[in-house]
Amino acid sequence: MDYGRAKRINQLLTTVYGEVLRVEELALRQSQFKDISIKEVHAIAAISMYEHKTTSQVARELRITPGTLTTMVNHLVRKDYVQRLRSDDDRRFVRLGLTRRGRLIYRAHESFHRRMVESFARDMDDEQLQIIEKALLNLQAFLELADPTTPNK
């Protein structure tokens, strides 16, 4: 690939990444969820509606320390988005779950991303989508190799 094309693709990737975060944050500010940051929304997405994960599992998924996540979870509990669920067998064992309000923001975030991907893929055939998917997998593999915190390298 020539230098000019590489530079244009890099600029597009950087711009798109920044714009996704900016538009997500703007959408939050214009919604009923004004009291939450985009980082907190991503924590809610990692906690998930469909399973109860431990703090360690969520922190690993978000690639942040358990201490950082604990602070974030404390805020999300206070704001009524997340709840700590203690095991009946061992009260020391805690999993994270979403409250009704947490499930609402989870669905709104999921809907935003679904609409974004649908818009991105509009008017593309299967072959074009396979090429994009392959390119994104290549990018993900590069980032995992470049990240010193990635396990099993």
- Over residues 33-40, the mean pLDDT reads 92
**pLDDT tens-digit readout, 52-69:** 999 999 999 999 999 999
pLDDT-based confidence at residue 149 (cuts at 50, 70, 90): confident
- Over residues 27-38, the mean pLDDT reads 90
Is the CATH number of domain 36-122 3.30.870.10?
no
pLDDT-based confidence at residue 147 (cuts at 50, 70, 90): confident
Looking at residue 152, its pLDDT comes to 62
| Least confident piece of the model among 86-90, 102-106, 133-137 | 86-90
Looking at residue 153, its pLDDT comes to 52
Residue boundaries of the structural domains of the chain: 36-122
Other Cβ atoms closer than 10 A to 66: 15
| Cα–Cα distance, 138 to 131 (Å, whole number) | 11
| Cα–Cα distance, 135 to 21 (Å, whole number) | 21
Determine the Cα angle at 70 with ends 36 and 59, to 5°.
90
Give me the long-range contacts of 84-88 (CB less than 8 A, separation at least 24): 85/52
